[in-house]
Amino acid sequence: METFRRSCTLKVSRVSVLGLFALLFLVGCQQGAVRPGGTSPDMVDNTGQFGQDSQTGAGDVYVKLAIAYMREGHLDVALKKAKQALSVEPANAEGHNVIALLYDRLGERDLAEKHFLRSLKIESKNSYVLNAYASFLCQQQRFAEADQYFLKALENPLYRTPEVALTNAGICAARDNDLQKAENYLRRALTFNPEFSLALIQMAQISFQAGENLSSRAYLQRYLEKARPTPASLWLGIQNERLLGDQNAVSSYSLMLKNNFPDSREVQLLRNSEH
C-alpha cells in the first residue's frame, strides 16, 4: 500500500495524513467486521460470513481451511486449499472470492479479477463479494467502478455489516480526493454502528484534513476507547494537538508512541518534527 511521505513541518504533515487512508484500506481475511482474535483491528472484512458453519457445499471445508491459512499468512497453503475447493465444487462463490483475495495478495491482479467476477456470476447480490470486489477496484484506482459496486453491496437488505462497505467506500472516496463524499459515507457507517473503530479513525483523519481540529480530537478519542492505538493514530493525535495548542496531550501521545512503537516510522517522523 501507499507509504507516508516524511515531513518535518506541521503544514506538510497535515497533507501526509492522506496516506493513512491507504494504510487502513486493506483486503482482509477476517470474519465479522473487526478485531477477531489476533488480527489487526484495522483490517476490513472481505470474506464476511464465508467459511462459517452455515456453509454446506462440497467445497466449503476447503474454503474454511483456505481462510484459516490466509489468516495465518500461509498464502501458498491457502491457495492450494482454495483450488481444492473449486476442484470439487466449481460453482462455489465463496471459494472464488477467497481465491480472488489470495491472488490479489500475491500480485496476480488479472487472476484475482477473474475469480471475483466468477463469484459474482454465481451470486450476483452477495454483498460480501461485492464489497471485496469494490475494494479491489479501488486499489487499482478504478474509483468510479468501485463506487458502483459498493452501492450494489448496500442494496441487499440482508447485508449484516453495511458499515463495512460504507467505510470502505469512504476510504475509497478519500483516495480519490473527494473528502466530502468520504465524510458522507463514513457518517452513514456510524449510523449503522457508532462504535465501528475504522470509521471513527477515518472521520478523525478527514476532520484533521478539513482543519476541524476539535472534531478530529473527538473522533480520535472515541476510536481509542474502542481500539488499540496504532502508530498512525498516535501520530495523528500528536499533529492535531499541536495545532490545538495542548502540550500535555502532545506529550501524552508522544510518550505512548515512543514506548509502544519505538521502531515505527511515526517515531522517526516525531523526532524529525521536534528538531
Please check whether residue 35 lies inside any domain of the structure.
no
Q: Is residue 197 located within the same domain as residue 243?
A: no
User: Distance (Å, rounded) from C-alpha 67 to C-alpha 55?
Assistant: 13
Q: For position 163, what pLDDT does the model report?
A: 95
Q: Is residue 73 located within the same domain as residue 118?
A: yes
C-alpha cell at 109: 491482479
How many other CB atoms are there within 10 angstroms of residue 245's CB atom?
A: 9
Q: Is residue 174 located within the same domain as residue 206?
A: yes
Cβ neighbourhood burial of 229 (10 Å; 0-12, 13-18, 19+): middle
The domain spanning residue 100 has which CATH number?
A: 1.25.40.10
User: Distance (Å, rounded) from C-alpha 29 to C-alpha 15?
Assistant: 30
Q: For position 1, what pLDDT does the model report?
A: 33
Q: Is residue 120 located within the same domain as residue 136?
A: no
Cβ neighbourhood burial of 31 (10 Å; 0-12, 13-18, 19+): middle
241's CB contacts (< 8 A; 6+ apart) are 217, 247, 249, 250, 253
Q: Is residue 52 located within the same domain as residue 80?
A: yes
Q: Is residue 139 located within the same domain as residue 186?
A: yes
Q: For position 36, what pLDDT does the model report?
A: 27
Mean pLDDT, 10 residues at a time, over the chain (275 residues)? 31 34 36 30 45 61 93 94 95 95 95 97 95 95 97 95 95 94 97 96 95 98 96 97 98 97 96 89
**Domain of 82, in residue numbers:** 48-124
Q: Is residue 108 located within the same domain as residue 142?
A: no
Please check whether residue 38 lies inside any domain of the structure.
no
* Alpha-carbon dihedral sign for residues 118, 22, 74, 230: negative
Q: For position 55, what pLDDT does the model report?
A: 53
Q: For position 25, what pLDDT does the model report?
A: 42
> Which of 180, 211, 242 is a domain's end point?
211
> Which of 101, 124, 147 is a domain's end point?
124
Please check whether residue 85 lies inside any domain of the structure.
yes
Please check whether residue 3 lies inside any domain of the structure.
no
User: Distance (Å, rounded) from C-alpha 79 to C-alpha 74?
Assistant: 9
Q: Is residue 166 located within the same domain as residue 106?
A: no
Look at the chain and report how many structural domains it folds into: 3
Q: Is residue 135 located within the same domain as residue 117?
A: no
Q: For position 274, what pLDDT does the model report?
A: 87
State the pTM of this model.
0.80
Q: Is residue 144 located within the same domain as residue 191?
A: yes
C-alpha cell at 216: 478530529
User: Distance (Å, rounded) from C-alpha 259 to C-alpha 231?
Assistant: 11
Q: For position 53, what pLDDT does the model report?
A: 42
Quick check: 241 and 259 in contact, CB under 8 A?
no
H-assigned helices in 40-178: 60-71, 75-88, 93-105, 109-122, 127-139, 143-155, 162-175
